[in-house]
Amino acid sequence: MVKQAIRASATAFILMMSLHTGVAGAHGNVAMEQDSCMRRAGGGSMIHMSVYQPTIEPSSHYCTEIPNVGETYLVIDLVDKALRDMPVGIRIVKGTGDADSETIKTVKPAFYKSGSLSQKVYLEQGRYTVIIKGEAVPPVEHSYPLRVQMVNYSKLFQEAIGPTIAFLVLIFVGYKITKTKKVQKWLASKRS
Give 31-80 as a DSSP string. Answer: -GGG-TTEEE-GGG-EEEEEEEETTTEEEEEESSEE-S-EEEEEEEEE-S
Name the segment(s) of the chain with CATH classification 2.60.40.1930.
Answer: 31-150
* Cβ neighbours, 10 Å, residue 171: 11
Angle CA 128–129–132, to nearest 5: 150
Place domain 31-150 in its CATH homologous superfamily: Macroglobulin (MG2) domain (2.60.40.1930)
Is the pTM for the entire model greater than 0.85?
A: no
Burial degree of 45 (CB within 10 A; 0-12, 13-18, 19+): buried
Along the 192 residues of the chain, how does pLDDT read in single tens digits?
556 555 655 565 555 555 444 333 334 555 556 677 888 766 678 889 999 999 988 888 898 889 899 999 999 999 888 888 999 999 999 988 777 788 999 999 999 999 999 999 999 999 999 999 988 878 888 888 999 988 767 777 888 888 888 888 888 888 888 778 777 788 788 887
Contacts of 164 (CB under 8 A, 6+ apart): none
Strands 65-66 and 140-148: parallel
